[in-house]
Amino acid sequence: MAGVSVATVSRALRGLDRVSPQTRQRVLEVAEELHYVASPTATSLVSGRTRVVAVVAPFLSRWYFATLVSAIEKELRAHDHHAILFDLEDDTYSSRLPLTQNMLWKRVDGVITLDVAMTPDEVALVDRLGLPLVAIGAPVPGRTCVRIDDHATMRTAVEHLIGLGHELIGYIGDVPEDVAHIRAPRDRLDAFVETMRAAGLDVVEEWVLGSDWTAQSAATGSTAVLSGEPRPTAVVAASDEMAIGVRETARRLGLRVPEDLSIIGIDDFVLSDVLGLSTVRQDVAAQGRTAASLVLGALGSGEPPETDDVVMPTRLVVRESTGPAPGVS
């Protein structure tokens, strides 16, 4: 319609040089009029690039993951890429769906994993396909990981309580061995234990509680300990959502927070601020953006992302749920 060849149209539309201004102008006008947009599938077939990045997560509906996905999608789109989603949630909490070749092959240019512990087979698959991969949260062997320092973060939380005079401190967020695919909260539990010991405090085994990391399970799981005698004067939860569950149990049992029980979590969940929950804040969206730029960088340069982990800072946010231990002024 513009009276030129398809090759010229291609060059004009993509802004390559070696096209006369008049021709370009004409092509642009006709394209506009016809609502012409080049077919991305045809473009992909010749370029070998899809401009799509796979975002792989064990859950999608939980706050942490949804926040990551949102941040990643925006960063990608700002650079003319798209996010395709893979929710690996399975019927049972202790297993997840595998990542397969036909999710990735010729479908995406790169992969971002959200706190998923990849199996060796999966890592081999991604390697074989030559896809750049950046992990968030749970590291993937040999790949760059954007994460927080779980150990230091937990230490900050525990030391805050110790600084307030607490000596009887419970913990919630232990996870059974078999759910290794979700996250390795070992670091957090280890840090709890170490920090307690370093301060000369006992870790009471019955006060270290398991949970599937939901508020619900934390509420149920903490009932026995909080209604027992003796009971902890403070609880540290490995996530804010669990902290909220514990806080609710405390309320039900008639324990005042923080007078009778101090509670601190990790994350700075959406509701933590309104609820006045003390926490150690991590910037989840920033982790998503960083991971997205790293894969974008790898796609641009052809080099895999630098292999060093990117460790993002966390910081203590003291709100109303923590206070001096009973008897300490």
Partner DNA sequence: CTGAAAGCGCTTACAG
Q: From the CB of 190, what's the least distance to a copy of itself, in Å?
A: 28
Tokens of 14: 């993509």
Amino acid (1-letter code) at residue 180? A
Count of CB atoms within 10 A of residue 328's CB? 11
Interface segment toward DNA; rule CB under 7 A; list 11-19, 56-64, 116-124, 163-171: 11-19
Angle at 213 between CA 124 and CA 247, to 5 degrees: 160
Query: Per rule CB under 7 A, is residue 38 in the interface with DNA?
Result: yes
The interface with a copy of itself within residues 161-200 (CB under 8 A) comprises none
Among 28, 30, 31, 43, binds DNA (CB under 7 A): 43
Q: CB-based contacts of 115: which residues, under 8 Å, 6+ apart?
A: 57, 58, 64, 65, 136, 137, 138, 182, 183
Q: CB-based contacts of 16: which residues, under 8 Å, 6+ apart?
A: none
* Integer Cα distance of 281 and 233 in angstroms: 22
The interface with DNA within residues 165-194 (CB under 7 A) comprises none
Query: Per rule CB under 8 A, is residue 215 in the interface with a copy of itself?
Result: yes
The interface with DNA within residues 46-105 (CB under 7 A) comprises 46-48
* Integer Cα distance of 260 and 325 in angstroms: 8
Among 180, 271, 318, 328, binds a copy of itself (CB under 8 A): 271
Query: Per rule CB under 7 A, is residue 6 in the interface with DNA?
Result: yes
Among 14, 16, 20, 77, binds a copy of itself (CB under 8 A): 77
**Sign of the CA dihedral running 24, 25, 28, 31:** negative
* DSSP assignment string, 72-90: HHHHHHHTT-EEEEEE-B-
Interface segment toward DNA; rule CB under 7 A; list 17-25, 129-137, 291-299, 308-316: 17-25
Query: Per rule CB under 7 A, is residue 11 in the interface with DNA?
Result: yes
Residues 11 and 18: beta-carbon distance below 8 Å: yes
Query: Per rule CB under 8 A, is residue 18 in the interface with a copy of itself?
Result: no
Which residues lie near DNA (CB under 7 A)? 3-8, 10-11, 13-14, 17-20, 22-24, 36, 38-39, 42-43, 45-48
Which residues lie near a copy of itself (CB under 8 A)? 35, 37, 39-42, 44-45, 50, 52, 59-63, 65-67, 69-70, 73-74, 77, 82-87, 89, 101-102, 105-107, 128, 214-216, 219, 241, 244-245, 248, 270-271, 273-276
